[in-house]
Amino acid sequence: MKYNPLFRLAQRMDAVANYGKAKSVETLSLRLDSNESAAPDTKICVDGELLPTTLLNLYPDDSELRAEIADEFGLASEEVAITAGADDALDRICRALLEPGRNMVLPVPTFEMIDRYVSLAGGSCKEVPWLEGCFPVDDVLAAVDDSTIAICMVSPNNPTGAVASFADVLRISQAAPQCVLILDQAYAEFCSDCFPAELWQIPNLIVTRTFSKAWGLAGLRVGYALAAKPLIAALQAAGSPYSVSSLSLEIARRQLQAERESMLYRVANTAKMTARLTQKLRQLDCDPKPSRANFVWAKAANSSWLRDGLAGLGIAVRAFGDRPHLSDSIRFGCPSSIADLERLERSLDVVLKPQALLFDMDGVLADVSTSFRVAVEMTCLDFGVVTNQQEIEKLKRRGGFNNDWVLTQKILRDNGIEASIAEIRILFDGHYKGQSDESNESCPLTQLAPANRSNPAVTLGLRQRESLLVTRETLADFADRLPLAIVTGRPRCDAEYFLQQFSLHEFFSEVICLEDAPSKPAPDAVELALQRLGVDRAWMFGDTVDDIRAARAAGVVPIGIVAPGQDPAATAEVLNAAGAARVLNNAAQILELLK
């Protein structure tokens, strides 16, 4: 490649020479100059072939891969630098060129590490907006000043997918010959028709590429830079001498030699996938942009909720709420199989177009902090065991104790007492529902359940202390938008008592109770609610890890609620760890997500 001597490297490079070692490897049979040890007794097998263990104990030699890459582009091997991914190449470029008082012109938004590398090198960025459309050549050139040492172009751009043309590169190179033109082509294989062979005739150009994207070798961390010999020498001097392992070099070399057809097939398949995903996003009122890479960038009305809702279904996508220009955007990596694409499509429907809302009862609709929780304490005390709300909450956060009788049995068992669920239920229900039994007056916690004034021998149950956590107006608003259902671990009689007490039947189309299906975290009860409602897309709100796990297992967006008496920070931590899409302080906040 031609070299333009108009620009100077950073002063720090003046005293830096490339790391050297003894030459003429062929004539040296006993290498004692690199302090290498004997190879371990380890066998390495790739594609059925046993590889030499020297790939492990000897320092890497990238000369073969450099020569093969150079041959592919019609360059000399001295015009190729192998790096630990393309980002390592960009980091080296910044260290070689930038220093205090120098700047790089950078169209944004783009790969976020570039700005960081510039700052670490002591330089500064002059940002030029490029959200979509044609590359802003005029604006880029207008930003160049006497302190500009480099201009960076990422094409296809990450995260927007926008593409620059060869004419753009050529015009900038000719108009600013004193600047190094950096062309990051991490996604070049997806846009192979964008740049002709004449690209390599541009004298002030550095191209960075990688095996991480189209080649599918991100775990190997192999990238490379292509440039004139003096620039490549500077890049090699600006980084570690052995930045890529021998195994990575060997596998990348084999892929380059034998797997090009497979790579091209994956690229073609990705183009079909991105086209289908783009169409799906349009159907869901998102605004996807054209992409020549393995991702689709789109604008969405509530991008952070879309990200979190998909995460609740086990799918990770990238939102950019913390970056300028990108607060309403989201990036979808392209699935690699039809099955994964169909999963994403369905999940997008669930998050953006729910057909129903499902509610756990306790802690979401009903405040049970002084009813069920106290009934656990009182029942344990009947057996001579003292517990407290902190211990009960700790067990609830662990999961597996959606049923308070089972929770009570666990506390008793931990204290050396075996009791059957039938025994526990009789006592528990007496405290919760109330009973005619004067002996109850001897219980130290009986004062929490006020006596019936007309008949002091009848103790009103703790359930009288429950209150409604969501206003009827809010429930009416929910019901006007979507069908509602309750999925609770309560026995039906207890669920019906609460619904009648607060006249809630009109809002809920279905009520799934303990008798209807296995308890959460099994998904059966959630799936039954969907079946009875005649829908397949819903959001579910619950206050325990069992609620979250059941919803996720049923393909329903799981949303956590902090119940009264719970520690908000601790509850949010455990619900998020269980896979909650969001954790809300109360169910009324659901309206914000439905907008």
Whether residue 470 is predicted with pLDDT greater than 60 in this model: the reply is yes
Sign of CA dihedral 587, 589, 593, 595: positive
Q: How many CA atoms lie within 13 A of 130 on its CB side?
A: 30
Q: How confident is the model at residue 451 (pLDDT cuts 50, 70, 90)?
A: very low
Q: Please answer whether residues 496 and 512 qualify as being in contact, where contact means their C-beta atoms are separated by less than 8 angstroms.
A: no
What average pLDDT is seen over the chain? Answer: 89
Q: Which amino acid is at 212?
A: S
Section 197-210 average pLDDT: 93
My answer on whether 74 and 207 are in the same domain is yes
pLDDT for residue 23: 57
Give the pLDDT mean for 51-68: 88
Residue in the block written with tokens 């220093």: 99
Q: Dump pLDDT digits (tens) for 150-192.
A: 999 999 999 999 999 999 999 999 999 999 999 999 999 998 8
Q: Which whole number is the average pLDDT over 335-339?
A: 93
CATH of the domain at 322: 3.90.1150.10
Domain that holds residue 312: 262-341
Residues in CB range of 305: below 8 A, 6 or more apart: 351, 582, 593
Provide the pLDDT for residue 39.
66
Between 24 and 120, where is the model more confident? 120
pLDDT of residue 442: 37
Its pTM stands at 0.85
Q: Pairing relation of β-strands 205-210 and 223-226?
A: antiparallel
Question: Tokens in use for 246?
Answer: 């021998």
**Average pLDDT of span 226-251:** 93
pLDDT, average across residues 302-330: 89
Share of the chain above pLDDT 70, in %: 91
Q: Say if residue 156 is preceded by a cis peptide, omega within 30 of 0.
A: yes
The CA-atom distances, in angstroms, between 181 and each of 80, 141, 387, 481 are 16, 12, 70, 54
> Is residue 347 assigned to a domain?
no
Do residue 287 and residue 310 come from a single domain?
A: yes
Does position 38 have pLDDT exceeding 80, yes or no?
A: no
- CA 221 to chain centroid: 21
* 502, 562: one domain: yes
Question: Three-class SS string for 130-196?
Answer: CCCCCCCHHHHHHHCCCCEEEEEEECCCCCCCCCCCHHHHHHHHHHCCCCEEEEECCCHHHHCCCCC
Average pLDDT over residues 264-280: 94
How is the beta sheet containing 329-333 ordered, strand by strand? Answer: 287-288, 295-299, 329-333, 318-319
CA neighbor of 168 nearest in space, from 180, 148, 183, 178: 183
d(CA 256, CA 407): 59
Domain total for the chain?
A: 4
Domain's final residue, options 429, 444, 465:
465
Burial class of 389 by CB neighbour count within 10 A (0 to 12, 13 to 18, 19+)? middle
Instruction: Select the more confidently predicted residue: 59 or 69.
Output: 69
Q: Are residues 457 and 569 in the same domain?
A: no
Band of pLDDT at residue 80, cut at 50, 70 and 90: very high
Residue 74 C-alpha from the chain's centroid: 40
CB atoms under 10 Å from CB of 430, counted, come to 22
Domain co-membership, 533 together with 566: yes
Give the closest residue to 89 by CA, choosing from 217, 247, 244, 251. 244
In a domain, 442, yes or no: yes
Q: Is the pLDDT of residue 454 over 90?
A: no
pLDDT tens per residue across span 87-99:
999 999 999 999 9
How large is the average pLDDT for residues 56-64?
Answer: 89
Closest residue by Cα to residue 169 from 133, 205, 143? 205
Q: Nearest-CA neighbor of 10 among 99, 78, 107?
A: 99
Regarding whether 266 and 229 lie in a shared domain, the answer is no
pLDDT, position 521: 93
Residue 406 has pLDDT above 50, yes or no: yes
**Residue 243 and residue 278 in one domain:** no
Q: Cα–Cα distance between 88 and 94 in angstroms, integer? A: 10
* Domain assignment present for 205: yes
For residues 100 and 196, the model is more confident at 100
Question: What span, in angstroms and rounded, lies between the C-alpha atoms of 237 and 228?
Answer: 14
Question: Which segment of 322-326, 435-439, 543-547 scores lowest on mean pLDDT?
Answer: 435-439
Side-chain-side CA neighbours of 421 within 13 Å: the count stands at 5
Closest Cα to residue 256, out of 80, 24, 58? 80
Domain containing residue 231: CATH number: 3.40.640.10
Do 402 and 317 belong to one domain? no
pLDDT bin (cut points 50, 70, 90) of residue 10 is confident
Domain membership of residue 35 (yes or no) is no
Of 431, 450, 465, which marks where a domain is finished? 465
Residue 588 pLDDT class (50, 70, 90 cuts): confident
Distance CA 234, CA 98 (A): 12
Query: How do residues 124-149 score in pLDDT, each as one tens digit?
Result: 999 999 998 899 999 999 999 999 99
Do residues 328 and 391 share a domain?
no
Please check whether residue 443 is in contact with residue 381, taking contact to mean a CB–CB distance below 8 angstroms. Answer: yes
- Final residue in a domain of this structure, among 220, 242, 258: 258
In a 10 Å sphere around its CB, with 0-12 CB exposed, 13-18 middle and 19+ buried, how is residue 436 labelled? exposed
The verdict on residue 583 lying in a domain is yes
Most confident of 48-62, 195-209, 479-493: 479-493
**Would 4 be classed as within a structural domain?**
no
Statement to judge: residues 178 and 248 lie in one domain: yes
What confidence score (pLDDT) does residue 439 get? 40
CB 523 within 8 A of CB 550: yes
pLDDT of residue 37: 60
Say yes or no to pLDDT of 29 above 70: no
Average pLDDT of the residues in 475-497: 95
Pair 245, 280 in one domain: no
Banded model confidence at residue 444, pLDDT cuts 50, 70, 90 = very low
Q: Is the residue at 30 inside a domain?
A: no
Classify each residue of 329-339 as buried b or exposed e, where b means 16 or more C-beta atoms within 10 Å of its C-beta: bbbbbbbeeee
Contact between 7 and 180 under an 8 Å Cβ cutoff? The reply is yes
**Strand 223-226 with 80-83, pairing:** antiparallel
Residues 501-505, mean pLDDT to the nearest whole number: 95
Does residue 434 sit within a domain?
yes
Task: State the average pLDDT over residues 546-565.
Answer: 95
232 and 83 fall within a common domain: yes
